[in-house]
Structure formats: structure tokens, C-alpha cells
Copies of this chain bind each other. A is one copy, B any other.
Amino acid sequence: MEAADGHGAVLRALRSELGAIVRTDAEALDGARVDKSGRRAPGRPLAVVEATTVEQVQATMRIATEHRIPVVPRGAGTGLAGAAIGGEGEIVLSTRRMDRILEISVDDEIAVVEPGVLNGELDAVLAERGLWWPPDPASKAISTIGGNIATNAGGLLCAKYGVTREAVLGLTVVLADGRLLRLGRRTIKGVTGYDLTALLIGSEGTLGVIVEATLRLRPLPSGTVATISASFASVELAARAAAAIVSSGVRPAVMELLDAHALEAIGEHLGLDLGGRGAQLLVQTDGAAAESEADAAVSVIAELGGDSELSNDPDEGERLFAIRRAFHPAMEARGTVLIEDVAVPRSALAAMFDAIARIESKYGISIPTVAHAGDGNLHPNFIIGPPTAGPRALADEPVVVPDHIWAAADELFVECLRLGGTLTGEHGVGVLKKRWLRAELGDDSYALQRQLKSVFDPLGLLNPGKVF
């Protein structure tokens, strides 16, 4: 592909200032067109800049602004909403190689990191010091802290330990014009002006490029971790049990719910017979009250007809959790997947599962669903195409979501809103969910949000076409 004249000039400027970190080889360009959502950007980006320093990020943004070229900030490309995919006429600015841990303060329970540090890498380093950064998206082994922050990543532990927003004290960001902005602080409390740190968290690369983060750490939970695996005759009973466990005062560290279709797919994948179960609820409690909380949860489960296995042994707990960990691999084996990410108030979990069942019959499809039940966050999975062997093996045409799947996903979203829920609990809007954004926000809020973006990015160069 030959760049247009203006594109030639921007490439020359990037190469002259940044040298070899400006990649235009096919592997780099095609790799940056996709993420883990299965979405692929139309056309190839102009270049992928693999920044290793803040100054390189600033230079990239200055050049992009001068030439009016859109920029897509990107981490490890593990997003599930297409927020970090770059296409024709765009520069992809990767911070994946800015991967230094700059500081760990045991006394202040703070870490200062570059955005490309993998969540799992940080975890390992912190564990040696008895510390922990709670955000734990299922992708933590392969996703970056910068990406976690850009999407306000959640995960399995949020109901007890919070989402990313609660675990970030400050950010350094590069604005669209290349200026460097320091936001937030190193202290736990602070109300000096507006909370721009919170505004940037979850902004999906549309307001600035995150180049440094000050993270709030916790001590590693000590003592027993108790694990419960409980099967139920129906997903409704399991959902009611999940809500009842929380309203009984128990704070599970993890509470995952798998419905019958999810269990069926996992059983097939692992060669186990899980087909007869209506639903499985997996609960972990930790900390000083782990055992008494687990006992209380088992009682609630029994009252709702669930059949529990309880273990305080880590290996046995891991075995009980194996079926949950097999869910995404089982889905990938079945085909290309559209992963929904709705969240409803806990009391509406059972009703949401009921709505999913109705949508399944109406459209004659199966929607295997896993839920982070403690915070009402459901991931209904729609199979939209044949299995792929990963991004590199994508056919020439991007995955086209069939119309009846969009219609079913649409109904699911409307049901979720009706139940007091939200479009996306933790994956973000990206390109995948922007068709529904205005319906949830309302026209005034939508317009206001776009105006706020203009304050940060008056030329509209940061990740255009994403979110809005």
C-alpha cells in the first residue's frame, strides 16, 4: 500500500525524529488492526510507533497534530471492544515497550509504573514484597496496566476489592498536542480541583495517552482462602443464591456464576460430563473471616437447593475453579465470539438470566453466559463465526456479525437497561458498543461528553470513531 502524499510527509517526520521505533512492516501494521474482540480495522494504519520513552510519545503527538493525523493509543492489544485497533490513515502509538516499574514504596503502599508493564508482571514483583494491586482482569497475564486504566478494567475481585478506578492515585498523560500533564497525587485523599484522574480512567484513549501511573497497593490478603463450588438445578436459583450471599453480609472475594450453556461448552472442551447441571456457582472468601464467611455462604446455598463442595486447600480450590478458567478457551474452540459485558444491580441477576433465556429461544441461538455475580456483571457470549487461530490468521475480510446476532444483542442490551443496568461493566465501549452509548447516556450527557473530549483534544485526533 502506497501512502498518500500527506501520509508520506508524516512518515518522513516520524522516521526522522524517532528512527527505528517507527514500524511500517506488514506484521506490525496488521497486528495493530486487531484486538481480542475479533474486530479488525478497515485498512492498514500508516505506522506503528513503539515508544519506549515519554519524549517519544510527546514527539509522536506533536507530529500527528502538525500533520492532522489521527492517533490510536495501544497497549498489548488485549481489549475486548475494539478500542485500540488502528486502521487506514491512522498512527498506532504503542506504549507496550514502556514497561519499567519506576518505584515501589512498601511504606506508602504505592507503585509508580510505566503503562506497558503487564498486570501479571507487576503482581509477581509486588508479591515478593507482600503487596498487591487488586485489579485483576481475566487477561492479567497478557494485559498492560495502561490498558487496564484506559478501560477501567474490572475482573473477578471487584465486588470486594474495587475496580481500577479505586486503585489509581495519579496519572501522567500526554495530550493530543504533545504537552505533558500530571494528574492526581501520591496521597490517599485529595480534593484539589476536579478529579481528572478519574476522568481519564476508562476514557479508552480518547482524552490523552497514559505514560505513567501511580498505583494504590494493598497488602496481600493473608490466611485461608476458602473455595466453594455449588451446582444448582437452575440459573435462577444460582443467581438468587449469589444475591442472598451478599445480602447476608458475606463479602466474597470472588463469586462466579456459569449457566447451563456455559457448562455444556466447558464440559465438551474438558471432556467432563457437566451437561445435566442448571448452573454452577463458584465462591471464594479470604481474609480473617474466610472460614466463617464460607460456612455462611454454604448455608445460603443449601437453603436455595444448591449442592456445595467446600475446600480450604489451595490446590483443591484451584481444581474447583478449573471449570471457570476453561470458559473462554471453550468459547474460542466453538467459534469467533462476541462477548457482551452488561451489568445489572445484583437483585436483577436472576431476571437478566431469564431475559437471556427468552432471547435465546426467540432467535434460536445459544448464549453461554458467565457472570461476576458479586457485582452483577454478566458476559453473555454470542458465537458469530468459525474458530480462528488468533489475529494473525484472520481472513482478509473482518468478521461480519450476522444481523440476527446484532438484533439479539440489541434486545439483551434493552433488557439490561430496563433492569437498571449498564451497557458495559468493564470492557469499555470501543467500536463494539458505541451503537448503544447514546441510548444509555441520553442526548444531553452524550453531547456534554463530546464537548469534554474537545477540551482535551480540540482537533479530534485521539482515537476518533471510538466510544462516540
Q: Which residues of A contact B (CB under 8 A)?
A: 105-110, 130, 151-152, 154, 158-159, 162-163, 165-166, 175, 179, 181-183, 185-196, 198-199, 201-203, 207, 219, 222, 243, 246-247, 249, 251, 287-289, 292, 343-347, 372, 375-377, 420-429, 437, 440-442, 444-446, 448-449, 451-453, 455-456, 467
Contact = CB atoms under 8 A, between A and B. Distances in A.
A203 B194 contact: yes
A107 B249 CA distance: 10
A376 B107 CA distance: 12
A205 to B, nearest CB: 12
A289 B249 CA distance: 16
A442 B179 CA distance: 12
A345 B187 CA distance: 5
A244 to B, nearest CB: 8
Given A187-B344, A445-B181, A192 B429 contact: yes
B249 A441 contact: no
Contacts of A429: 191-193
Contact of A187 (B151, B165, B188, B376): B376
Contacts of A345: 105, 107-108, 110, 186-187
Contact of A189 (B163, B186, B222, B448): B163
Nearest to A153: B191
A107 B349 CA distance: 11
Contacts of A449: 193-194, 196
Given A189-B158, A422-B185, A448-B456, A199 B199 contact: yes
Please indicate which of the listed interface residues A193, A287, A437, A441 has the most CB atoms of chain B within 10 Å of its own CB: A193
A194 B202 contact: yes
A223 B418 CA distance: 39
Nearest to A292: B288
Contacts of A154: 189
B375 A249 contact: no
A247 B108 CA distance: 8
Given A108-B347, A345-B108, A448-B455, A440 B130 contact: no
Given A181-B445, A455-B455, A422 B199 contact: no
A19 B222 CA distance: 61
A145 to B, nearest CB: 16
B288 A187 contact: no
A154 B188 CA distance: 10
A440 B185 CA distance: 10
Contacts of A446: 193
Given A188-B376, A219-B249, 20 more contacts: A109-B247, A110-B345, A151-B191, A165-B195, A165-B198, A179-B444, A181-B444, A182-B442, A189-B372, A189-B377, A189-B426, A191-B202, A191-B426, A191-B428, A192-B424, A192-B429, A192-B440, A198-B198, A287-B288, A448-B455
A347 B107 CA distance: 6
Nearest to A163: B189
A425 B106 contact: no
Contact of A195 (B159, B199, B422, B424): B199
B445 A455 contact: no
A355 to B, nearest CB: 15
